[in-house]
Amino acid sequence: MATIYRAFLLIVFVLALGSALRPQLKFIWHCFIRPLHASDQRTRLDNFYKGQADVYDATRSGLLRGRNTMLNLSASHIRTMRAKNPAQKLIWVDIGGGTGHNVELMDRHFPVSSFDAIYLIDLCEPLLQVARERFAKRGWTNITVLCQDATEFALPEWARSDPKGSVSFVTLSYSLSMIPNFYALLDRIDYVLSPENGLLSVVDFYTSGKQPSLHEKAIGGTSKECGWLSRWFWQIWFDFDHVSLSPHRRDYLEYKFGTVKTYNGRNRFVIPFIVRIPYYIWLGRSRSCDVSRFCHAFEVEGGNMLGNCSPASFTTIKDSETIPPLEIGEPALNTQVSHADALITVTPPLSSFHYHLGKPWRLPYYEQAIHQEFRTFIYSFTWEDPEVDMKYLNLGPEDSMLVITSAGDNALHYAIAAQPKRIHCVDMNPCQGHLLELKLAAVQALEYQDFFSMFGDGHHPKFRALLDSKIAPFLSSIAYQFWHINDNAFFKAFYLKGYSGWALRLARVIFSIAGVSKDVEALCNAGSIAQQEHIWREKLKPVLLNPVVIALLKSPIFCWNALGVPLNQRRMVLDEGSMYEFVRDTLNPLPSTYSFKDGAYFYPLTLLGHYTPSSCPEYLTRSGFQALKADNGKVTDAFRLHTDSIYNVLRGLTSWSLTRAVIMDHLDWFSPGSKDVDDEVDQFYRVLSPGGFVLWRSAARKPWYCDVFERKGFTVTALGVRKGPEVPLDRVNMYASFWRAVKTT
């Protein structure tokens, strides 16, 4: 009897397992085993999907990654575009949409009822039948299902009017790689897509080798390259199913349309560490859309002089003339014309910086080898005290200034406090630009609570959702890629990220070992200066000024990798005294001078790992946030973010175009007598208007380069020099001196 019972259970188990695996078994049979014979594309598709149409969606969720992200991104960009022209009809064409799964997914992000019309086009009737049943079940009446060849698709209303520019939104979800005549398809989409408010979105598999063209560098594509083995294997594998992963489809797509967003991912399917299928998400616009407003922004005050940004489509040149440098993102053409007065069409694609929907904060740049040295940002917060800067800057609405980007905190402070005409933020590390760009975009897209959660608390569990659904339209493509890849940055503790985060983590370990973690919290929440000073003197000073910690701070490796202090700056500190004296003079006077709980936010951040509403940078206060957000972010229009050296940026600016510059401790990074400093000071002298000046801080009480400024025609004044451990220069007190150099003639 027991044997019969066990046999019965085994049969039930096998039947249940077979039922559960039925979709996967049908998928395997039809995709890998069942012979496929067809003379044309339509018959082949019908035969291939007929037996598996009912399980198509269930078996593709893990394989076809990125569809939901593509639709979420598209929805956020459509909302942004619609806000500028809400009266325009919204028509969506989903090409190769098959079972209608994309439409159902999109309803989570952008209501299907909000579209004036949706057309689902596919050549496979078995899949379309699933779509019809799905839409009927949901009661959607604004969707039309059409069985058509994608390269010749035609909407019913086109019989009565010219279809040019009549479509608002087109999607290609894992279909571009399956359409043989993709040139004709993309040309047709380009014709019918609205040049002003049209959006084309693609997600698909791909392969790609090295990217030599400047255009591809200008578009930007982190992790786009595929290894030779990956290219060889996946192209052959998918070719068995008539799916083409050759680079030509994507190359023509990115040539034909302007890139708004691009992201390259790897689908870790079934066996995550071995099976890594390359896929990409791409959003673009018609190249005929008006990008003149972006070009104007790039050229203002010289901008980043990478090339001629004018979006002219035609250039008339005479015999033996050479075509001048073209748009940003393209090489100069050196083409000789043999026929007099020949009209040459010159329409190379602009870079992705031109086509994004947000404000033109970020200036175009090509990714160079030096940019690739920076894997992430060094500084997640800014160490200089902006309130002291404001005492000497005397900023007004007519001022144009240059500042080091860092984490962007001080640049935002200047914008809130004085609203200068222009703020050029400069940093060679592109990740610092990504961080400031994220802050500017988040101001534009979010409400205060979400914004403070991200940059005040340093923690937002729904950051990825906010990134795709709200923030992305205001980010450049390269910044979006960075934050998509690093979407865990706000999952726990943002300020423990980046190189500076290592110092904060180490401080926590030291406090834990010393048993003073609670004293650290008490210091940051002390109700009076006297209580603060007592906790510092009795509990924390013996821990931070002990020989082991001082020895660690003296290490050149730790100085650079955790504190961002380069070798030359470290040498300047040790030339004027010991590391113990420097740390003592930095920390000792602060607890007896400034309230950490109410305003002196720098050290509470490093000690606690987050800001508080009563102790945070100005941009994180509710009033500061509202000032940045008011009038559609008018204050932020002043920002121009450069990814280059200060010297190169200065060379691109016109004479007398700056009135102020704040270069932090930048010149401490150079070795004494460096010609680079002479060249940079020469450029400052040229670019600054008479009476304009440069502010800087130094780890030395008398930095060597003061003499360079004086020799070049500046009047140099010490605004503050640290004399011992009693009186701080500001709320940070990390530097030994503070200087101003005024251009007097």
Strand partners, 403: 425, 662
The DSSP element (H or E) to which 314 belongs, if any, is strand 314-316
Q: Same structural domain for residues 231 and 88?
A: yes
Q: Are 493 and 610 in contact (CB under 8 A)?
A: yes
Sign of the torsion angle spanned by Cα atoms 567, 572, 578, 582: negative
Domain span including residue 716 = 673-745
Looking at the fold, whether 69 and 27 belong to one and the same domain comes out as no
Q: Tell me which DSSP letter residue 615 carries.
A: B
Residue 377, pLDDT score: 82
Give the ranges where 562-705 is alpha helix by DSSP (H).
567-575, 579-587, 602-608, 622-633, 646-652, 675-687
Go through 53-63 and write b for each residue having 16 or more CB atoms within 10 A of its CB, e for each that does not. bbbbbebbeee
**Boundary residue ending a domain (259, 286, 313):** 286
Task: For residues 146 and 7, state if they share a domain.
Answer: no
Instruction: Please report the pLDDT score of residue 417 as a whole number.
Output: 97
Q: Which pLDDT belongs to residue 172?
A: 97
In residues, how long is the chain? Answer: 745
Q: Which residues of 474-504 are buried (b: 16+ CB within 10 A; e: fewer)?
A: bbbbbbbbbbbebeebbeebbbbbbbbbebb
Looking at the chain, the number of H-run helices and the number of E-run strands are 33, 16
Amino acid at the residue 352 = S
Asked if residue 203 is part of any domain, the answer here is yes
**Dihedral in degrees, nearest 10, Cα atoms 193, 198, 199, 200:** 0
Whether residue 155 sits in one domain with residue 119: yes
Whether residues 110 and 183 fall in one domain: yes
- Read out DSSP for 225-266? ---HHHHHHHHHHHHTTT----THHHHHHHHHEEEEEEEEEE
Same domain, 266 and 330: no
| Same domain assignment for residues 112 and 241 | yes
**Domain check: are 68 and 178 in the same one?**
yes
Provide the domain count of the chain: 5
Helix (H, G, I), strand (E, B) or coil at 683: helix
Residue 469: per-residue pLDDT = 96
**Residue 655 domain flag:** no
Q: What does pLDDT average to in each consecutive run of 10 residues of the chain (745 residues)?
A: 51 47 51 54 57 53 84 96 86 93 95 96 90 93 94 92 94 94 95 94 90 69 82 87 87 91 83 76 87 50 37 32 30 32 45 82 84 82 94 96 96 98 95 97 97 96 96 94 93 81 79 90 93 93 86 71 71 85 90 93 91 96 98 96 94 94 93 93 97 95 95 96 91 94 91
Same domain, 260 and 302: no
Domain-ending residue, one of 250, 265, 286: 286
Please choose, from the candidates 639, 601, 597, the residue with its C-alpha nearest in 3D space to the C-alpha of residue 620. 601
In a domain, residue 76? The reply is: yes
Quick check: is 373 in a domain?
A: no
In a domain, 482, yes or no: no
d(CA 50, CA 53): 6
User: Do 149 and 10 fall into the same domain?
Assistant: no
Confidence (pLDDT) at 346: 40
Residue 630 resides in a domain: no
Only one residue has tokens 């068995």, namely 240
Tokens of 553: 């701070």
Q: What is the pTM of this model?
A: 0.86
User: Under a CB-based contact definition with an 8 Å cutoff, are residues 431 and 377 in contact?
Assistant: yes
Same domain, 273 and 214: yes
Which residue, of 286, 305, 320, is where some domain finishes?
Answer: 286
Residue 510 falls inside a structural domain: yes
Residue 654 in any domain: the answer is no
Q: Can you read off the two tokens belonging to residue 286?
A: 């018609």
707 with 591, same domain: the answer is: no
